[in-house]
Each structure stands twice: as structure tokens, then as C-alpha cells.
Amino acid sequence: MVCWSNVALADGGPKITDSLWMPVGVNLGWAVNPSPVRNGFLIGPEVSLVYLDQKGWWAGAYTDALYDGGSERARISAGGEVGYAILGIDLGYVTTLRGEREQGFRARAMLSLAAVHLYGGAGRLSDSTYGELGVLLKFPIELWAEPVRRPWMDRPSPDPAPEAPLPAEGPVPPGAPLLPEQKPNEPEAARR
């Protein structure tokens, strides 16, 4: 632990890799409905499939089913979502399930903090516009991830050191310097 190198210390944090996630959770919110329909709570499940790249960009698709306590109707929505880091938007098709069938679209902006997503947006059904504010509580399930690449993995390995030249065969010309391997062995008595 004491012998960490500077590279190891600089590389100590979590790494974002290209990955595929399936966040699953619940939507808790508030619907702002057009008059004379009352405003009310929103509740329902939501699931997404999101690709996250190592630079922090993400894109995917979502679907949800919400009960609007103000209008006393359920609606489903499906669409796409994109974002960078903690900011994102989604846009999707929406339709009601109970009562007179209405169709339209919904757009939301969101602040995404991994398992907690705060959102606000508006939707349009037939000829009326409504608003939504809420929180998505989602459990992200990792489906696939590229292995983490550390900076030291991308560095080229150094070339091996060149080998020392082999001593020349045969007699050494007079006055030429001798390599250690070419020097004659001194008798044991001379070394003392």
C-alpha cells in the first residue's frame, strides 16, 4: 500500500465503460391537469433500456404506465431518451387506457442521479395539455459492460534491451582494448 505509484493513485476512482443498463422502478409525481379536471398524484411502474458510453453520453428507450389521481385515468407512454452525465430529456407517445381513448405525446427534462431521477415536463392528449412533476426511483440492472481499461494497459511495452555483442573469435590485434571475457585469467596467487 505504501509503494503505490503516481499512476496507480491517479487511477484509483470508479471507471465508466461502455455498458447497457435496464433501470426498473416506480414513478411518483404530481399531474397538473387542464380545468375542469382536478390536479392529482401520479403513480406507476417504469422500465428503461439505456446504453451508456465511457464519455458520459447515454441513450435509450423507456415505457411506463401511470395512474393520474386527478383525472382518475391511467395512461401508458413509450419513447426515447438521451442525455449527458446527469442531464437528460425524453420524448414519447402517450395514450389513455380508461374512458374516452386519447392519444398524444409527452416530453420531460430530467436530472438523473443514478437511482433517483427528478423530472418535469408536459404532455398533450387530443386537444388538452397537462404537466407533470415528480421523481423516478429506479434500480439500475447492468446487462453488459465492456471491461475496464486502465491507462497503463494502453501504453506500449518498452523494447527489450539490446544484447551485448559477442566477443570476437580468434586472435586480438595488438593494442586493441580487451573485453572482460577476452582478458586472460590471472593466477590465484597474483590476485592476492
Per residue in 65-114, pLDDT (tens digit) is 999 999 999 999 999 999 999 999 999 999 998 778 999 999 999 999 88
Peptide bond into 158 cis (omega under 30): no
Residue with cell 428507450: 61
165 within domain boundaries: no
- Helix boundaries (H) for 14-171: 151-154
Q: Would you call 180 helix, strand, or coil by DSSP?
A: helix
27 within domain boundaries: yes
71 within domain boundaries: yes
What pLDDT score was predicted for residue 180?
65
- Element (H or E) spanning 113, and its range? strand 103-113
152 within domain boundaries: no
Question: Into how many domains does the chain fold?
Answer: 1
Q: With beta carbons less than 8 A apart as the criterion, state whether 110 and 117 touch.
A: yes
Q: Would you call 170 helix, strand, or coil by DSSP?
A: coil
Indicate which CATH number applies to the domain containing 62: 2.40.160.20
- Give me the domain span that covers residue 37: 19-141
28 within domain boundaries: yes
121, three cell numbers: 415536463
58 within domain boundaries: yes
- The average pLDDT across 8-28 equals 80
Closest by CA to 48, choosing from 96, 90, 17, is 90
What pLDDT score was predicted for residue 171?
65
186 within domain boundaries: no
Closest by CA to 44, choosing from 24, 23, 28, is 28
